[in-house]
Amino acid sequence: MMRQFDGDRLIIASHNAGKIREIGALLEPFGIAVSSVAELGYEEPEETEDTFAGNARIKAHAAAQASGLPALADDSGLMVDALNGQPGVYTADWAETGNGRDFMMAMTKVNDLVAASGASAPHSAQFRCTLCLAWPDGHDELFEGIVGGHLVWPIRGEGGFGFDPMFLPEGEQETFGEMDPAHKHAMSHRADAFAKLVAGCFDR
């Protein structure tokens, strides 16, 4: 039996402004008050696991312990078939410069490696998202989402965040960077995981 979320406040265990915006929009219809660990000034825990689920659990439990409230974390990334699933769990690390994140650099690196792999276009890829809802008593629930598509180059669009401008979801004309946010929220890896969270834990 899955644990139900029956509170009216939830901590979003993310320091990524793009994710916080998307999770806020997904939670909006449920009338739940949200605060992020970024606005509360909590430190970012180190993501030491090598799976999305492992890192989502680290972030969600750290925030639930610190706040005494249920907390929702998202660990996500881009898996490129021609790169054997890289950057995967290390997607954010590929953008790290020592002086903040540079996603133009990271997208260029992905494109260069894909070109060097010799694989022929279109280059298939998936975005994956694992959500972890953790309670202060140490219990948690995990939900996984995925969206398939392929990479485009040059990048297209200025919306979204991270690798959005180089990802064209299956059956779509627009990249996540070009898409209306509401459309992305209806079909993304995050939306897929979120639908499972709602079905499993929200009785509203």
Ligand X SMILES: O=P(O)(O)OP(=O)(O)OP(=O)(O)OC[C@H]1O[C@@H](n2cnc3c(O)ncnc32)[C@H](O)[C@@H]1O
Q: What would you measure as the largest C-alpha separation in the chain, in angstroms?
A: 52
Annotated ligand binding at 138? The verdict is no
How many C-beta atoms lie closer than 10 Å to residue 55's C-beta?
24
Backbone angles phi, psi at 37, to 5 degrees: -60, -25
Segment 81-87 long-range contacts (CB within 8 Å, at least 24 positions apart)? 81/119, 81/123, 81/124, 81/125, 82/114, 82/117, 82/119, 82/123, 82/124, 83/110, 83/113, 83/114, 83/117, 86/113
Does 42 sit near ligand X (CB under 6 A)?
A: no
- Give whichever of 23 and 92 is closer to Mg ion, judged by the CB atom: 92
Is 75 in the active site? Answer: yes
Least distance CB 92 / Mg ion (angstroms): 5
Q: From the candidates 6, 50, 75, 102, give the one annotated as an active-site residue.
A: 75
User: What SS3 state is found at 132?
Assistant: strand
Does 15 sit near ligand X (CB under 6 A)?
A: yes
Site string for ligand X, 147-186 (x = CB under 6 A): -------------xxxxx-----------x----------
Give the residue nearest to ligand X (CB): 162
95 touches 109 (CB < 8 A): no
Does 143 sit near ligand X (CB under 6 A)?
A: no
Positions at the binding site? 14-19, 46, 75-76, 161-164, 184, 189-190
**Under the rule (CB under 6 A), what is the footprint of ligand X?**
14-16, 19, 44, 47, 59, 74-77, 91-92, 95, 127, 160-164, 176, 188, 190
